[in-house]
């Protein structure tokens, strides 16, 4: 149930961050959903890394989930402080590079359609984080494209699967 819980809020934050990048939400208003998603993801990180059932697989999951939580909290911090986001951009490059071996591992170990779906998500998330690197660290003029990719990534890799998992449909 925890994956559905996290994915549901990943979907919400990416959808709204996409709208924000498209100029539909003000800078300071986007802080709330980023803090909520960061806290939800952070709580799952604590559960997976330090909970009673923690093992090597759950700790690995915690480490990867912390990439998401850190990103959302960093977006919130940037909007509150008004910094330009270059640090988050460089962190996004680190995360984008990290998604490559995660994707490859998921593809080679996928024993089901769900495993391949997860691998595809890591590839999409890696592209998205790379776009944040280009936008924030290198200042490329791709805000509109990044906004649309963020919005659709939120729906397809977060909200929809999270909702289906929470309802027990997958």
The yes-or-no verdict on residue 165 having pLDDT over 90 is: yes
* pLDDT, tens digit, 9 for 90 and up, residues 85-111: 999 999 999 999 999 999 999 999 999
Per-residue pLDDT reduced to its tens digit, 26-62: 999 999 999 999 999 999 999 999 999 999 999 999 9
The pLDDT of residue 2: 85
Please state the pTM of the whole predicted model: 0.95
CB 140 within 8 A of CB 89: no
Tell me the CATH number of domain 1-167, given options 3.40.50.300, 1.20.1740.10, 3.30.360.10, 1.25.40.600: 1.25.40.600
> Rounded to whole angstroms, how far apart are CA atoms 23 and 62?
32
How many other C-beta atoms lie within 10 A of the C-beta of residue 107? 15
pLDDT, position 1? 81
């Amino acid at each position: 149930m925890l994956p559905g819980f996290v994915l549901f809020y990943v979907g919400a934050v990416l959808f709204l961050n996409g709208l924000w990048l498209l100029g539909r939400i003000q800078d300071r208003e986007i802080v709330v959903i980023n803090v909520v998603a960061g806290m939800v993801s952070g709580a799952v990180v604590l559960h997976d890394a330090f909970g009673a059932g923690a093992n090597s697989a759950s700790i690995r999951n915690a480490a990867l989930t912390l990439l998401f939580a850190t990103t959302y909290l960093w977006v919130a911090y940037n909007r509150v402080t008004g910094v330009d986001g270059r640090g988050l951009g460089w962190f996004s490059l680190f995360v984008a590079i990290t998604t490559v071996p995660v994707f490859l591992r998921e593809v080679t170990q996928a024993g089901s359609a769900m495993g391949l779906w997860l691998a595809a998500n890591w590839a999409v998330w890696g592209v998205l984080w790379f776009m944040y690197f280009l936008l924030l660290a290198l200042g490329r003029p791709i805000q509109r494209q990044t906004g649309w990719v963020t919005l659709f990534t939120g729906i397809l890799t977060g909200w929809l699967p999270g909702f289906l998992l929470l309802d027990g449909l997958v």
